[in-house]
């Protein structure tokens, strides 16, 4: 996919929370460009500053330093009134859905349209369309209390799309949902991105969410951006410590095999899984110990990685490396 | 048991009490509701923080709330005379009732509105809602069940204040209870008025509860 037009630019962005006796630097020197039409992921551990970052994008939080440029508008230069209009072209969804509890699904979707001054009749019409988009046409009259978590998030998505925003900001939108529902919501986001061309910013602490839908990702660690790049690239060749930690979540124990030589084999969508190892074992006539294996489906291609324990003797080791070289299988030694 | 005249007097007493209570409640809400909204909106974590104004209003409300109603009633008499032209009768009691209960209502409204989940307010802000739109389209409708319950509590409080007006000849059931039950030791009269007051309180409580349940869509 080719991204040309920047949709959101963060330049030297910083945010410090000041109170009488504390001073929290939630973000520091964030530089980031999100392009029109992409699904951009922002991942980090709890407290890294993800929510603060996304709230800076729509100026719910005013940055203390730096700039936010949204669709060529420098948000620091618009007045309060103008800011309200700008926000109407940015939808946002939340972990806790944040639906109006005293309004039906339909009325919830009408809400942003009422705010924007759309007539009741037109708002209703649009709300019905959106219910269709999110697959909840039969729930128009249901109150949030009568909906499941996944259905609530669908209503929230429909509501966020009501004013035809250019960007959809998702702050941990699937963190309160079970894996199946998470997948269906992510599919919906993907569909929206593809069919409506809306730029989607996904905040999460789960690598699987990033792998599932994002094109590019920024990893944020302790208020800074640690790494940024295409999801495939970051996933296959994580550079920063935090990126490795997130990619290998579940495989942290590898580091505890001290003193052993290990090799990471990367499956980049070209190779299939078992035959590689099986063939290697047959060809090199040496058994290997699999320490960790993981496959993922990214953008329809199979990706995976496997960490194997190398044999003790140098000859077998060399043979394995030679095999991997000649078969063009990406790999690296893990120390 | 009671003569027709007495029954008639009790009937008038009930009407006067209801009249004072309802008129005062309406007027007190006209004052107290905006004050409560102001307290929430201008709070330091509110949607349009104005900390100094918030402090000032907060202090005034607290001072008025800490004055016992009987004292307020007497202290306001000159003012009441200016407004109503007399210090006797139900209309005269409306003045101290409104001034005495408006700050209480402001606090009730404040606490109801503060129950609204901050996430919902944030969602509205993210859609570009102005503080005004948030008040009228989010805070009040979302807090409606709680506001209704608060309303029942306010009316009951005003009702009990109105009975105190009996000491200054305000009319209503309070005056009957004091004139007959207190000054003339007619225990039966005292009992009857008290029972009627209890029934009215129950009625408002029940009505409030019912309206609240009907309005609440959270099931
Ligand atoms: N309003 C605030 N006042 C003071 N400190 C704050 C405020 N909001 C956030 N912080 C601090 O800023 C830091 C980053 O918080 P943030 O909510 O952005 O983290 P996060 O990455 O979203 O974490 P999580 O995954 O738990 O949601 C934290 O240390 C937090 O305590
Ligand atoms: Mg967060």
Please check the confidence at residue B186 and state whether its pLDDT lies above 90. Answer: no
How large is the average pLDDT for residues A110-116? 96
pLDDT digits (tens, 9 = 90+) for B75-106: 999 999 999 998 888 899 999 999 999 999 99
Q: A323: pLDDT confidence band, cut at 50, 70 and 90?
A: confident
Q: Is B123 in contact with A92 (Cβ distance < 8 A)?
A: yes
Q: Residue B205: give its domain's CATH number.
A: 1.10.3720.10
Q: Ligand 1 pocket, A50 CB below 6 A?
A: yes
Separation CA A75–CA B167 (nearest Å) = 63
- State the average pLDDT for chain B: 93
Report, as an integer, the average pLDDT of B138-154. 97
Per residue in A247-294, pLDDT (tens digit) is 776 554 555 555 567 888 877 776 555 577 778 888 888 888 888 777
Select from A60, A85, A146 the Cβ nearest to the Cβ of B125: A60
Determine the pLDDT at residue A261: 77
- The whole-number pLDDT of residue B169 equals 82
Selected residue with higher pLDDT from A263 and B133: B133
User: With 90 as the cut, is the pLDDT of residue A4 above it?
Assistant: no
What is the ipTM for the molecules in this complex? 0.90
Report yes or no: B92 and B78 within 8 Å, Cβ to Cβ.
Answer: no
Which domains does chain A show, CATH number per domain? 1-89+199-245 (3.40.50.300), 260-334 (3.30.70.260)
More confident residue, A334 or B111: B111
The protein residue whose alpha carbon is closest to atom 26 in ligand 1 is A46
**Residue A109, pLDDT above cutoff 60:** yes
CA distances from B135 to A55, A84, B45, B77, B142 (A): 21, 15, 14, 36, 10
Total number of domains constituting chain B: 1
Residues B133-156 have a mean pLDDT of: 97
Instruction: Give the bridge partners for A204, in sequence order.
Output: A43
Position A235 confidence tier, pLDDT thresholds 50, 70, 90: confident
pLDDT at residue B27, rounded to an integer? 97
Task: Classify strands A90-94 and A167-171 as parallel, antiparallel or unpaired.
Answer: parallel
pLDDT band (50, 70, 90) for residue A31: very high
Q: Looking at A49-53, A125-129, A202-206, A323-327, which range is the least confident one?
A: A323-327
pLDDT digits (tens, 9 = 90+) for B18-27: 999 999 999 9
Does the C-beta of A52 come closer than 6 Å to ligand 1?
yes
Residues A116, A279: Cα–Cα separation, whole Å = 63
Global pTM reads: 0.85
Question: Which two three-digit tokens encode residue A290?
Answer: 């699999």
Per-residue pLDDT, averaged over B51-79, amounts to 94
Question: What distance separates the 2 farthest-apart alpha carbons in chain B?
Answer: 67
Enclosing domain of residue B83: 4-215
Lowest-pLDDT range, A206-215, A253-262, B5-14, B152-161?
Answer: A253-262
Q: Does the CB of B144 have a partner CB in chain A at under 8 Å?
A: yes
**Of residues A282 and B109, which shows the higher confidence score?**
B109
d(CA B16, CA A122): 50
Predicted confidence (pLDDT) per residue in A194-228, tens digit: 999 999 999 999 888 998 899 999 999 999 999 99
pLDDT of residue A29: 94
pLDDT confidence of residue A250: 53
For residue A302, the model assigns a pLDDT of: 64
Min CA distance, A43 vs chain B (Å)? 21
Q: Which residue, A181, A213, A184, is CA-closest to A200?
A: A213
Mean pLDDT over each residue of chain A, to the nearest integer: 88
Q: How far apart are the first and last CA of chain A?
A: 35
A24 close to ligand 1 (CB < 6 Angstrom): yes
Angle at which helix A105-115 crosses helix A120-133, to 10 degrees, equals 130
- Distance to chain A for B137, nearest Cα, Å: 8
Q: Which residue of B has its CA nearest to A82?
A: B128
Q: Which helix (H) or strand (E) holds A26?
A: strand A22-35
Q: pLDDT tens digits, residue range A148-206? A: 999 999 999 999 999 999 999 999 999 999 999 999 999 999 999 999 999 999 999 98
- Round to whole Å and give the CA distance between B134 and B145: 17
Contact B128/A96, CB-based, under 8 Å?
Answer: no
Length of chain B: 219
Nearby residues of A310 by Cβ (< 8 Å), 6 or more positions away = A260, A261, A262, A263, A288, A316, A317, A320
pLDDT at A70 over 70: yes
- The backbone region for A318, taken as left when phi is positive above 0, alpha when psi lies in -120 to 50, beta otherwise, is alpha
Higher pLDDT, residue A266 or A334: A266
pLDDT of residue A298: 62
**Residue A83 clears pLDDT 80, i.e. is over it:** yes
Q: What was the pLDDT predicted at A260?
A: 66
**In this structure, are residues A114 and A106 in contact, taking their beta carbons and an 8 Å threshold?**
no
């Amino acid at each position: 996919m080719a991204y040309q037009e920047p949709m959101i630019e963060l330049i030297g962005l910083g945010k410090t929370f000041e109170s009488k006796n504390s001073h929290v630097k939630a973000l520091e020197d964030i530089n980031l460009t999100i392009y029109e039409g992409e699904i951009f992921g922002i991942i980090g551990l709890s407290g890294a500053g993800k929510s603060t970052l996304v709230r800076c994008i729509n100026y719910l939080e005013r940055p203390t330093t730096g700039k936010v440029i949204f669709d060529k508008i420098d948000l620091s230069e618009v007045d309060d009134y103008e800011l309200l209009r700008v926000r109407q072209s940015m939808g946002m969804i939340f972990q806790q859905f944040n639906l109006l509890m005293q309004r039906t699904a339909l009325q919830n979707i009408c809400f942003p349209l009422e705010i924007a001054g759309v007539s009741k009749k037109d708002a209703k019409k649009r709300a019905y369309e959106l219910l269709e988009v999110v697959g909840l046409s039969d729930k128009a009259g249901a109150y949030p209390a009568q909906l499941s978590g996944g259905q609530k998030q669908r209503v929230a998505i429909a509501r966020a799309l009501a004013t035809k925003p250019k960007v959809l900001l998702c702050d941990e939108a699937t963190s309160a949902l079970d894996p199946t529902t998470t997948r269906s919501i992510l599919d919906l986001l993907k569909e929206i991105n593809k069919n409506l061309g809306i730029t989607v910013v996904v905040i999460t602490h789960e690598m699987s969410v990033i792998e599932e839908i994002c094109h590019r990702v920024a990893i944020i660690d302790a208020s800074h951006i640690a790494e940024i790049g295409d999801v495939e690239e970051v996933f296959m060749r994580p550079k920063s410590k935090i990126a490795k930690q997130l990619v290998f979540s579940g495989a942290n124990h590898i580091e505890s095999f001290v003193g052993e030589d290990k090799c990471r084999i990367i499956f980049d969508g070209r190779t299939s899984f078992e035959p590689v190892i099986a063939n290697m074992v047959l060809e090199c006539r040496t058994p290997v110990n699999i320490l960790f294996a993981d496959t993922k489906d990214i953008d329809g291609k199979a990706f995976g990685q496997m960490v194997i324990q190398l044999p003790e003797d140098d000859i077998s080791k060399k043979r394995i490396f030679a095999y991997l070289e000649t078969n063009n299988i990406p790999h690296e030694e893990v120390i | 048991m009671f003569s027709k005249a007495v029954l008639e007097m009790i009937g008038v007493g009930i009407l006067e009490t209801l009249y004072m209570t309802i008129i005062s409640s309406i007027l007190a809400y006209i004052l107290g509701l905006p004050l409560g909204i102001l307290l929430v909106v201008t709070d330091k974590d509110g949607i349009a923080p104005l900390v100094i104004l918030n402090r000032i209003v907060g202090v005034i409300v607290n001072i008025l709330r800490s004055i016992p109603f009987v004292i307020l009633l007497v202290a306001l008499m000159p003012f009441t005379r200016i407004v109503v032209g007399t210090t006797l009768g139900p209309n005269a009691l409306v003045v101290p009732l409104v001034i005495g209960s408006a700050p209480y209502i402001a606090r009730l409204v404040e606490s109801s509105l503060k129950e609204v989940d901050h996430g919902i307010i944030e969602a509205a802000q993210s859609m570009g809602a102005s503080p005004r739109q948030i008040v009228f389209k989010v805070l009040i409708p979302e807090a409606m069940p709680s506001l209704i319950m608060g309303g029942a509590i306010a009316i009951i409080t005003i009702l009990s204040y109105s009975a105190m007006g009996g000491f200054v000849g305000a009319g209503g059931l309070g005056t009957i209870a004091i004139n007959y039950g207190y000054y003339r030791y007619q225990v039966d009269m005292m009992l009857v008025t008290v029972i009627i007051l209890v029934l009215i309180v129950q009625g408002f409580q029940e009505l409030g509860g019912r309206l609240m349940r009907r309005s609440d869509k959270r099931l």
